[in-house]
Amino acid sequence: MKMIILDRDGVINQDSDHYIKTPEEWKPIPGSLEAIARLNQAGYRVVVATNQSGVARGLFDMAMLNAIHARMHKAVAQVGGHIDAVFYCPHASDEKCACRKPYAGMFLEIAERFDISLVGVPAVGDSLRDLQAASAVGAAPILVLTGKGRTTLASGDVAPGVQVVADLSAAVDGVLV
């Protein structure tokens, strides 16, 4: 089974320092939805792994998170693609739960749910914690320069060998080579 794991905010959609709190605030990054459709056409399962601490912070509830994800699913479907599953961590960073990236819990849950080893599976993110969670399970981290990606790269903390690309479309170009 071919799989790719994508972060949501800053990879698929525009990120916000004030959180994406409503479906109306969810805006796709140009080319990202079409990139997901290309992955589907090439036989990839597309899985989203996203920290959503806005739930724990009381900025939005689970019904609103589901509505945001419904908008994302609909937008991807409108260009001929689909997302196979969305895994999320609703906890705040101070809760130190195992599912919140940079910890590997969400990735381990994906591996268990799909009965797959994540070794070498491309995992696209825009933050250091995305890359760290991917590396912890042997996945192949890819840093996009959208969202927080430029700041992440400038931090100097990105491990050697991590692929760096402009955006999700460029990441997919590399995966589909």
Q: Name the residues annotated as catalytic.
A: 7, 9
Q: How far apart are CA 126 and CA 24, in angstroms?
A: 22
User: In which region does residue 120 sit, left (phi positive, over 0), alpha (psi from -120 to 50) or beta (all else)?
Assistant: left
What phi and psi, each to the nearest 5 degrees, are found at residue 39? -60, -45
- Whole-number Å distance between alpha carbons of 73 and 129: 24
